[in-house]
Chains A and B, each alone.
Chain A
Amino acid sequence: SQQGEEDPQALSIQEGENATMNCSYKTSINNLQWYRQNSGRGLVHLILIRSNEREKHSGRLRVTLDTSKKSSSLLITASRAADTASYFCATDAMDSSYKLIFGSGTRLLVRP
């Protein structure tokens, strides 16, 4: 089952612009994570936000979480061509398994 759904499915921007990706989920969560995947490679963890947090920053990344709307957004500021990748949100299963439920991802293309 896929709990998180990302929007948009694909995004094309010019280098230097900001990129915003959204994630919606269905059930209660302990935390929400964002991962990045370069084409044909494994995923890399970017940032985690807990259910009692509303905003978190890490370098050029800003994540927000609205538990009332069951949604999160990932903002990449001053994008670079190297940011071109797919970005996935993942929510925890809220049990002892620590399973993650991934969304379908947003494919970001940053044009130089």
Chain B
Amino acid sequence: DGGITQSPKYLFRKEGQNVTLSCEQNLNHDAMYWYRQDPGQGLRLIYYSQIVNDFQKGDIAEGYSVSREKKESFPLTVTSAQKNPTAFYLCASRERGADEQFFGPGTRLTVL
């Protein structure tokens, strides 16, 4: 089965803690993206990577960090500097030369 997996599905974090969200794809896509979705809202871009070992900030990168050490993996760390981290986080990937993005099932992060 080809696709994008995100884990965990639900994540609870205490204030002041860093937490890492996993995103893995076996589609052999070059580009990967992280989005944040708040209730009743659209998606906002946090970070994206078009190639291994390279990534760029999106519109709301403050308080987040990423790495892209392998083509298939693009983990997102939500740091304690993110003031309001409770949200639904979506990872996506895109094949080189294509326009559409393929999305994972998402991780719902709740800060207690």
A→B interface (CB under 8 Å): 1-2, 4, 30-31, 33, 35, 40-45, 48, 88, 92, 97-105, 107
Contact = CB atoms under 8 A, between A and B. Distances in A.
Given A42-B106, A98-B94, A99-B48, A31 B99 contact: yes
Interface residues of B, number: 28
A43 B88 CA distance: 12
Nearest to B88: A40
What's the dominant secondary structure at chain B's contact region?
Answer: strand
Given A33-B100, A42-B90, A104-B41, 12 more contacts: A1-B59, A40-B106, A41-B106, A42-B103, A42-B106, A43-B92, A88-B43, A99-B33, A99-B58, A100-B43, A102-B44, A104-B42
Contacts of B90: 42-43
B21 interface: no
Most buried by A among B56, B59, B101, B108: B101
Interface of B: 4, 31, 33, 35, 40-45, 48, 50, 56, 58-59, 88, 90, 92, 94, 99-106, 108
Contacts of A103: 42
Contacts of B92: 42-43
Contacts of A101: 45
Nearest to B6: A42
